[in-house]
Amino acid sequence: MTDPATPTIFGTTPNTLDAPRSDLPEMLTALAADLRMVGYTVDGVAELLGESAHAALARDQLIPALIVTEPTARTTDSATDRAKAALAVVVRLWLLAVPQTKDDIDAALPRIRTSGLVELGLVEKNDAGAVAAKVDLRPYGWEGDSGAGNSGSGGAELWVSSDLAAHQQPGVLRHDHVLGIGQASTTLVQTTIRRHSKRALDLGTGCGIQTFHLLHHSEHVTATDISERALAFTRFNLMLNAEALHLDPANLEARVILRLGSLLEPVAGEAFDLVVSNPPFVITPRSAGERASDQFTYRDGGLPGDDIVANLVRTLPDVLTPGGTAQMLGNWEIPAGSGWNERPASWLAGSGAEAWFIQREQVSPELYAETWLQDASEGRDRELYRDAYAAYLEDFASRNVETIGFGMIWLRRPKRPVGAGTAAPARFEEITYPIEQPIGPHLAAAVERADWLDAHQLLDAHLVVAEDVTEERHQRPGAEHPGVILLRQGAGLRRTNLLSTELAGFVSACDGDLSVRQLIGALAALLGEGDDFDDDAFRSGLLSDVGNLVRDGFLLPVTSDNHVDDAG
């Protein structure tokens, strides 16, 4: 394990890790200037390709972009044509993995030129003498991290290097493959609650996507990975984007430090305000005599079943400051006859941490096997695919696994220790329909509403209906009253809530004038006719339902100055 006091410098010598070099700052500055000058940005590429080809490229379909860029790269009649041709050369080189001529690259990137790209380890000459990409180098940007509090988190235009993906190269991926920008990484970016933090941890950094975002609202970031190649790519990306990320290339460790090691070993004894992790959570069959080099480090945690996620849920609270939070993605096994939340709930026993699990998807063992075998291009070797597929099914059957869940996990270490025999709050939801992105600000608001409920007397609150909420009423033709009353959210998690008649009446009266106590009292007086009416049960049940509507954001409290507290 790396000594935490000693920064480890990755990717600083040629050929040792087969990763880009990060020890040539002047060349990196020249490369960044060239990429900026040629217009190799998210918007620049989108404009060059057009809407259809750009959308196809986002689905890893290269052909439309190849068709669009081939004539463009050869047209140099005017200054505008030459500019588009230069950008097309760069797009074809790194995004489409099409070898280019040395002269075309030198013309498109005049400061760094082909020789500089070779020295940096970004390209190589192939047998035909053309220049071929060794890595994927693509533009990445965002307008700003919503919900970053007072951190002043702005947007950034960056470039991100990673290994060539399965759709860009033949054969099965190398086992130490460094994953680029993918659906899981962007999901975690959109899910993370952005607030100022003194110290943040990116556990399993990969090529560094989470670290880039953390740097915009954290004073210092520690990025860890079990893969030395991944850390080399991360360091290259940080150095290439030093200006945009406000880093000093000569003193990178002042803002971000890279640590080599497994899970929490590299940060043992330390504490962080925020931890984010897209861990290698994929459930992969283990075999006797298996070595670490036999695993795909970007996705396989090396433990049986869902133990990698279970271990993190149990141990992450140990590296959080009081009030600190952790957010991660994960898989969990769902045995036959069990609820999906039973295993995740068991991981929390004794941790003392508050938790919120949101299951976004549930798949069969067969579909799970197909997804991850395809992910590593193992289907290109039919015999390997057959054996691996069978191993997946046998592995799941050995634990009676019926389905596998995927979702988002939020953890918080309470500011004060939870008393003996008292369990910290834990919430489990299944939300499989589309939600608003980024969802992070809405999750932050939900946490703040829950905290507000814990700190205030709900009966004394004055409530209003949130602006995005609408009501639906359904009744059979000729019926006097609706049989179904629904509240729907148009934003955030877009929940739907089925209302009872009394709860619908309560919501309709929530204009902020009367307190919850007054509204419940009025409804009890209106509906409380008959000897079998239980006034206490009515009031407590309705109060509980109102609390749930506040927690989920359908109803919002009004402060003493008539300001609606939307908790975020």
Residues 378 and 499 in one domain: no
Averaged pLDDT, 327-355: 94
CB-neighbour burial class of residue 196 (10 A; exposed 0-12, middle 13-18, buried 19+):
middle
Question: Residue 15 has what pLDDT?
Answer: 59
Confidence band of 174 (pLDDT split at 50, 70, 90): confident
Residue 372 lies in a domain: yes
The pair of structure tokens assigned to 154 is 């702005």
Averaged pLDDT, 45-54: 97
Question: Residue 150 has what pLDDT?
Answer: 34
pLDDT over 60 at 514, yes or no: yes
Residues 161 and 224 in one domain: yes
The pairs formed by 285-288 with CB atoms below 8 angstroms and a separation of 24 or more are 285/388, 285/391, 285/392, 285/394, 285/395, 286/395, 287/391
Confidence band of 76 (pLDDT split at 50, 70, 90): confident
Residues 538 and 403 in one domain: no
Nearest to 361 by CA among 497, 184, 554, 494: 184
Secondary structure (3-state) at 184: helix
Q: Residues 519, 458: contact at Cβ < 8 Å?
A: no
Q: Please tell me the pTM assigned to this model.
A: 0.90
Residues 394 and 452 in one domain: no
Which is more confidently placed, 80 or 499? 499
Ranking 98-102, 254-258, 341-345, 384-388 by mean pLDDT, the lowest is 384-388
Residues 399 and 466 in one domain: no
Residues 334 and 300 in one domain: yes
Phi, psi (rounded to 5 degrees) for 219: -70, -35
Confidence band of 568 (pLDDT split at 50, 70, 90): very low
Residues 6+ apart with CB under 8 A from 467: none
Residues 411 and 456 in one domain: no
Averaged pLDDT, 38-63: 96
Question: Residue 510 has what pLDDT?
Answer: 97
Residue 131 lies in a domain: no
Of 430, 455, 489, the one marking the end of a domain is 430
Residue 230 lies in a domain: yes
Residue 122 lies in a domain: no
Half-sphere exposure of 491 (CA within 13 A, CB side): 14
Ranking 332-336, 352-356, 384-388, 558-562 by mean pLDDT, the lowest is 558-562
Residue 156 lies in a domain: yes
Q: How far apart are CA 233 and CA 11, in angstroms?
A: 7
Q: What is the DSSP string of 327-377?
A: EEEEEEEEETTS-TTHHHHHHTTTT--EEEEEEEEEE-HHHHHHHHHHHTT
Q: Residues 179, 225: contact at Cβ < 8 Å?
A: no
pLDDT over 60 at 153, yes or no: no
Question: Residue 540 has what pLDDT?
Answer: 96
CATH number, residue 238 = 3.40.50.150
Which is more confidently placed, 174 or 539? 539
Q: What digits encode the pLDDT tens for the residues 128-145?
A: 889 999 999 999 987 665
Residue 99 lies in a domain: no
Which is more confidently placed, 282 or 521? 521
Averaged pLDDT, 336-360: 94
Residue 459 lies in a domain: yes
Residues 225 and 163 in one domain: yes
pLDDT over 70 at 301, yes or no: no
The pair of structure tokens assigned to 321 is 């400051």
Residues 198 and 257 in one domain: yes
Confidence band of 250 (pLDDT split at 50, 70, 90): very high
The mean pLDDT of the chain is 90
Which is more confidently placed, 360 or 149? 360
CATH number, residue 451 = 3.90.930.50
Residues 416 and 462 in one domain: no
Number of independent structural domains in the chain: 2
Residues 240 and 367 in one domain: yes
Averaged pLDDT, 291-308: 71
The pairs formed by 112-116 with CB atoms below 8 angstroms and a separation of 24 or more are 112/27, 112/30, 112/31, 112/34, 116/27, 116/30, 116/31
Q: What digits encode the pLDDT tens for the residues 54-73?
A: 999 999 999 999 999 998 88
Of 374, 400, 430, the one marking the end of a domain is 430
Residues 404 and 463 in one domain: no
Residue 282 lies in a domain: yes
Confidence band of 362 (pLDDT split at 50, 70, 90): very high
Question: Residue 561 has what pLDDT?
Answer: 56
Confidence band of 147 (pLDDT split at 50, 70, 90): very low
Can you name the residues that pair with 361 across neighbouring β-strands?
A: 406
Averaged pLDDT, 259-278: 96
Of 371, 406, 430, the one marking the end of a domain is 430
479 lies in which domain range?
A: 446-558
Which is more confidently placed, 284 or 28? 28
Confidence band of 149 (pLDDT split at 50, 70, 90): very low
